[in-house]
């Protein structure tokens, strides 16, 4: 293990000031491990390594307890540390060591520094390489801490949940059991109906207020009518939505529609019963807040603008105008890749191994016709990254839907989460279990306990704790 000379050895992060009832996040030690760059090719990079960041906390560990291991996903690992409080709620009871590993090509774990996204180097960003990183890091830490016999429980949410499940698939010698929260692993099967995401975003807004969906549809119709008027209509849209730069053509207008759609999708994902700051400073029950703007505003366009601002202007209201090009980037994930280097990395993964939802069609969902077909994905990815997706690879490498030979995995999914239909919703065996989270949005069960938690998430956590206890005790 090699600590970076520039690393912060002890950094305390606070949960958002907007979060109700949250306390200071658990402090961690930030470390860096000399990780192999290419696990599967002995030639090009040989034994070259990069600095993989991980966060560790031994506050509750007694030297014999389990290792709670978070399989980092598409972002800075500190963000997941700050928003996965379940692990810290459970760790004292299990005398557990807590370990969060950062995914290669995200955060500070860049194998080639500023050149990591060059076309001749980005190819080492794969699920297989990331899983191998985690396996080697775990092996090293268990040896270093003399924790050879400590069981490892993998935790992860969203893509991280997919990784936690796949770690149990691929490295059952290292992973005793996995909690895969909101893990849409069936997205890697080519036969899935990919329209589910925006259909379920629409349902979330319908449930919040019956008048919400028809008014959203009406607003998009009025926008299209204005856009059809040409420069004058686009100028009016720009003014009504307080855009920093005026829309001037149909391409920019299409991007603007994607910016709005991205706001609705994100609000549905983080529709938590209390304020949060996971993706942005967002108020409690943001879907209901957005619907309130839409239904109560004097006109539907004003309501749509205010609803979009719930994400982009959050609870701060500090933005003087909206920079839609900076706030939303078109990519191979119609639900949004994010911005900056992390967004680039996710875009590449969405062009290779991880096929994501289709676009919107304005028939089965309330959003404008913004399609994203396999053909469009292939064209985009070839142009952007010079790669062509392989639709069947997930069925081969990650077992597709034929996962019954796995064991000791909990797949939790909330009914409010627009990703849930991409996940495992029915138990497949006594040790491959679906855990429903009634009233839960995107991996709400992995967040820390909160007085405003719905009964469904409290029940789900009890189930999760029970099975983790069985795994840890060798049952």
The residues facing 29 across adjacent strands are: 56
Residues pairing with 437 in the sheet: 414
Among 158, 182, 355, 412, which one carries the catalytic annotation? 158
Catalytic residue among 420, 442, 443, 467: 442
Interatomic CA distance for residues 70 and 84, integer angstroms: 9
Backbone region of residue 473 per phi and psi (left: phi > 0; alpha: psi in -120 to 50; beta: other values): alpha
Which one is catalytic: 200, 347, 417, 445? Answer: 417
Cα 162 → chain centroid: 10
Convert 340-366 to b/e letters by CB count within 10 Å (16 or more is b): ebbbbbbbbbbbbbbbbbbbbeeeebb
Nearest-angstrom CA–CA distance, 281 and 275: 7
Residue among 317, 342, 316, 339 nearest 328 (CA): 339
442 is catalytic: yes
Contact 307, 323 (CB under 8 A): no
**Are 101 and 28 in contact, with CB atoms under 8 Å apart?**
no
158 is known as an active-site residue: yes
Classify strands 67-71 and 152-157 as parallel, antiparallel or unpaired: parallel
Report CA-CA distances (Å) from 376 to 362, 369, 371.
18, 14, 8
3-state secondary structure of 54: strand
Longest dimension (CA), the chain: 71
Closest by Cα among 372, 348, 398, 393 to 185 = 398
Active centre residues (catalytic) = 158, 417, 442
């Amino acid at each position: 293990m090699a600590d970076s000379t520039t690393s912060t050895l002890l950094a305390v992060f606070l949960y958002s000031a907007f979060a109700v009832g949250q306390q200071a996040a658990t402090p961690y030690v930030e470390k860096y491990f000399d990780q192999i760059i290419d696990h599967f090719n002995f030639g090009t990079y040989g034994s070259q390594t990069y600095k993989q960041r991980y966060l560790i906390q031994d506050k509750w560990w007694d030297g014999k307890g389990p290792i709670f291991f978070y399989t980092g996903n598409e972002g800075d690992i500190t963000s997941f540390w700050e928003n996965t409080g379940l692990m810290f709620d459970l760790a004292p009871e299990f005398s557990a060591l807590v370990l969060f590993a950062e995914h290669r090509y995200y955060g500070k774990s860049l194998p080639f520094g500023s050149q990591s996204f060059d076309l001749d180097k980005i190819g080492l960003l794969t699920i297989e390489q990331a899983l191998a990183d985690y396996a080697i890091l775990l092996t090293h830490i268990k040896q270093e801490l003399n924790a050879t016999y400590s069981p490892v429980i993998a935790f992860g949410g969203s893509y991280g949940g997919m990784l936690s499940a796949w770690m149990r698939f691929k490295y059952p010698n290292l992973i005793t059991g996995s909690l895969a929260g909101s893990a849409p692993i069936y997205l890697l099967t080519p036969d899935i109906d990919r329209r589910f995401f925006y259909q379920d975003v629409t349902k979330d807004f319908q449930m919040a207020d019956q008048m919400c969906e028809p008014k959203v549809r009406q607003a998009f119709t009025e926008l299209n009518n204005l856009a059809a008027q040409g420069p004058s209509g686009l100028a009016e849209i720009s003014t009504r939505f307080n855009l920093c730069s005026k829309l001037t053509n149909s391409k920019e207008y299409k991007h603007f529609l994607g910016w709005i759609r991205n706001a609705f999708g994100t609000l549905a994902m983080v529709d938590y019963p209390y304020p949060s700051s996971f993706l942005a400073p967002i108020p409690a029950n943001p879907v209901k807040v957005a619907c309130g703007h839409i239904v109560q505003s004097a006109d539907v366009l004003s309501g749509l603008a205010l609803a979009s601002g719930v994400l982009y202007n959050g609870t701060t209201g500090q933005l003087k105008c909206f920079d839609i090009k900076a706030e939303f980037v078109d990519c191979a994930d119609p639900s949004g890749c994010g911005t900056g280097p992390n967004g680039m990395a996710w875009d590449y993964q969405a062009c290779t191994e991880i096929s994501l939802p289709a676009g919107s069609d304005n028939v089965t969902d309330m959003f404008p016709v913004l399609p994203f077909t396999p053909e469009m994905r292939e064209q985009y990815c070839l142009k952007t990254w010079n790669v062509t997706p392989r639709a069947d690879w997930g069925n081969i490498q990650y077992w597709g839907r034929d996962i019954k030979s796995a064991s000791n995995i909990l797949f939790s999914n909330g009914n409010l989460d627009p990703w849930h239909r991409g996940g495992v919703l029915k138990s497949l065996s006594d040790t491959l279990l679906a855990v429903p989270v009634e009233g839960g949005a995107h991996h709400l069960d992995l967040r820390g306990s909160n007085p405003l938690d719905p009964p469904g998430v409290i029940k789900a956590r009890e189930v999760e704790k029970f099975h983790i206890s069985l795994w840890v005790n060798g049952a």
